[in-house]
Structures are given as C-alpha cells and as structure tokens.
Amino acid sequence: MARSMRKTAAPEAIEMLIQDHRKVQKLFKQFEKLKNQNEEQDKRDLVEQTCAELKVHTEVEEEIFYPAARAALEEAALVAEALVEHGSAKQLIAQLEGMDNAGEEYDATFTVLGEYVNHHIQEEQEQMFPKLKKADLDWDALAAQMQQRKQQLQEEMGLGGEQEEETEHEYRRSAQRDAAHSRRSATGK
C-alpha cells in the first residue's frame, strides 16, 4: 500500500515543476508573436510576468526541490549544473529589469533567456526528473512544501488570479492522469 502511494505521489512534485515549465514556455512563445508588432507595453508586461514566474520557480527549486534531489541522486552534478543554469537566467532577468524595453537589445536578451530556460527545461525533464521518479523520497511532504512556498512567493510578487487557477486545474488533471498511468503500469494493465 505505501509503495503504491509513493508511486502516485512521486509525479506530483515533479508535475508541479513541469506545469511551471509549460507556462513559461507559453509566455516565451507569446513574446515571439509580439516581438515584431511594436507593442512595447504588451511586451514589457509579458517580460515582467515571465521573469516573475521564473523567479518563483527557481526559488522553489533552489530552496526545496534541489536539496531533496541532491540527497536522493547519485549524480549530484545534475543539480550543480541546474544551479549554474539558474545563475545565468537570473543574470539575464536582472539585465531585463534594468533595460529600456524599446529596443532590439531588450528583445534579444529576452530571446536568449528563453533559449537558456528551454535548455534547462529539457535537461531537467529528460535527465533529472526520470532519475528522481525512481528515488526513495517523501514525495507527499516534498510536494506540500513546494506548493506552500510557491503560493507564498506568488503572493509576494503579486502573481495569481484566473490564469493561475486555470493552471492549477490543468496541473491537477495532469497529476490525476499520471497517477492513473502509474497504477496501470504497476498492475500491468
């Protein structure tokens, strides 16, 4: 019984991070559509939202998820590399926050941030997460701690609202699908 609970709970913490990944990837794609339209305020708003989402995500990973991952993985280099990637992203975010948004350099900096973030996402989802799914962690406690910290950070940054509720519903549906898939895989059906 405890074993099946661990299997169904394991994707929950990871799925929370994957939903964050999808959300920022969608924002980067929206920016690409705006980039050539000279909608400076819309671009600025989108960049600010994306940067705030990234700040929340990286904080949750660095404070809660990565320490658990480092303790559970034999390959601590995966976590070290992820932290270096976070550092690069934070530098680009700081540059964006100090820039005038009416210019090619602003657009280029945000585009490079998107490239960094997409590379980071790919490595986490293809290398780190599959290995962690096999790890013996208290997934329920990890997910609860991550969700609590995420909500706290979102409140501090003024994030949330209808779009966040929609993302939360998507996250729950996806987590339920993953849990059902894990149960079917475990029973061979």
Other CB atoms within 10 Å distance of the CB of residue 129: 19
pLDDT in tens, 29-59: 999 888 777 778 888 999 999 999 999 999 9
Residue type, 67: P
| Residue keyed to tokens 């964050």 | 20
Reduced to 3 states (helix: H, G, I; strand: E, B; else coil), residue 49 is: helix
**Could you tell me if 6 and 139 are in contact, meaning their C-beta atoms sit under 8 angstroms apart?**
yes
- What is the percent of the chain where pLDDT is above 70? 78
Q: Considering the domain 2-187 in this protein, what is its CATH number?
A: 1.20.120
| Burial of residue 9, with CB atoms counted within 10 A of its CB: 0-12 exposed, 13-18 middle, 19 or more buried | buried
This prediction has a pTM of: 0.78
**Could you tell me if 105 and 164 are in contact, meaning their C-beta atoms sit under 8 angstroms apart?**
no
How high is the pLDDT of residue 6? 41
As separate numbers, helices (DSSP H) first and strands (DSSP E) second, the chain gives 8, 0
Please, what is the Cα angle at 11 between 6 and 16, to 5 degrees?
135
pLDDT in tens, 124-171: 999 999 999 988 888 999 999 999 999 999 999 888 744 444 444 444
In angstroms, how far is CA 18 from the centroid of its own chain? 6
Name residues whose C-beta falls within 8 Å of residue 33's C-beta, 6 or more positions apart in sequence: none
Give the end-to-end CA distance of the chain in Å, rounded to a whole number: 18
- What is the percent of the chain where pLDDT is above 90? 61
